[in-house]
Amino acid sequence: MAKKQKRNTLKKQQRALQKRTQRKKKLVQRAIHESASERPTSVLRRAREFPFLGAWVQRNWQQYGIASMIVARTQPDDNITFGRFLVDTFCVGLKDTFFGVNVEPDQFQNDALPRLYQGEPPISISIELAHEIIFGAIEFAEAIGFRTHRLFGRTRNILDDADAHPRSGVIEFGYRGMPTYVPAPGDNQRMILNRLVENVGIGNFNYVPAGEPPEEFAELFEQNAQAQPPVPTSPIWTPEQQAASGDVNSDSGLWVPNQQTEAPAETPDSEQTEEQPVRSSLWVPGT
């Protein structure tokens, strides 16, 4: 009799343990479901609460005036929230932007970053430099009449405020301070050129078309063509590819300006060339 009571008591304890285990499992599953079902925009709104993971940009970004940037933060669950910012530092500012949330760390490092940079390893830059490039380009573009990308109202939550970090001042927007428009696939060239003509004025910006320019701007292109080098096969024109002396910060890929360039070779126009002040903060490697 005693053995039977003992067996019954043991069975009751086992059933009670199973019930507690099932309740805990349901609570865990509910928490996981609630976390996974949180809308991406809700996560994005809280992004500034998360610590920065890092910032990246493609190599030689200064050579072309186009910076493809990733800024990432670590969520409380260790997943990643990141924003991508395609920045034209020569003219129109922020050309494109999008974001991702709830990305697993391994997926971010081994899938997202390689795909976004087409297999070319990007360079890691400081958060301060990332802010300076993005907000500096936006401010330069707005000053000449260009609005920033419509989705920046969302992805800016991944960044701090525009004035949250000190700026080095070593990045010069525009090419030698002058707006320089090089069309990219999908651009509305007529709209951009009309805005430059209205807000900046002919003679105060450079235009180097990739392909045939719009008919009404053919004359503008002919005027610029005499002063510009031929467009190479690269889809992005690199103006006046001169080798510049100076040091490259290996952590940022940023050329430190205010270094003297080598004296130009003797040509009939060498005196005029030497009289021109060297204002460019553009580093053109390997040329």
Give the β-pairing of 254-255 and 248-249. Answer: antiparallel
Name the residue among 76, 75, 79, 77 with its Cα closest to residue 108.
79
CB 134 within 8 A of CB 159: yes
Lowest mean pLDDT of 62-66, 140-144, 167-171, 245-249, name the range. Answer: 245-249
Average pLDDT taken over every residue of the chain: 75
Q: Of all residues in the chain, what percent carry a pLDDT higher than 70?
A: 67
Which of the two residues, 254 and 175, has the higher pLDDT score?
A: 175
Rounded-to-integer distance, Cα 218 and Cα 233, Å? 20
Q: How far is CA 98 from the centre of its chain?
A: 10
Q: Where are the domains of the chain?
A: 47-158, 178-241
Cross-strand partners of 70: 56, 84
Q: What is the pLDDT of residues 54-76, one digit of tens each?
A: 999 999 898 878 999 999 999 99
Cross-strand partners of 80: 74, 103
Rounded-to-integer distance, Cα 260 and Cα 262, Å? 7
Give the β-pairing of 80-88 and 66-74. Answer: antiparallel
Residue 95 has pLDDT above 90, yes or no: yes
Q: What is the pLDDT of residues 197-245, one digit of tens each?
A: 999 998 899 888 776 777 767 666 555 544 444 333 333 333 333 333 3
CB 90 within 8 A of CB 200: no
Q: Tell me what pLDDT residue 284 has.
A: 31
Q: Of all residues in the chain, what percent carry a pLDDT higher than 90?
A: 46
Q: Tell me what pLDDT residue 53 has.
A: 97
Rounded-to-integer distance, Cα 287 and Cα 280, Å? 16
CB 155 within 8 A of CB 97: yes
Name the residue among 87, 102, 105 with its Cα closest to residue 141.
87
Can you tell me the mean pLDDT for 121-150?
A: 95
Helix (H) or strand (E) holding 142: helix 127-143
Other CB atoms within 10 Å distance of the CB of residue 56 = 20
Q: Tell me what pLDDT residue 246 has.
A: 34
Q: Tell me what pLDDT residue 255 has.
A: 34
Q: Which pLDDT band, with edges at 50, 70 and 90, does 92 fall under?
A: very high
Cross-strand partners of 71: 55, 83
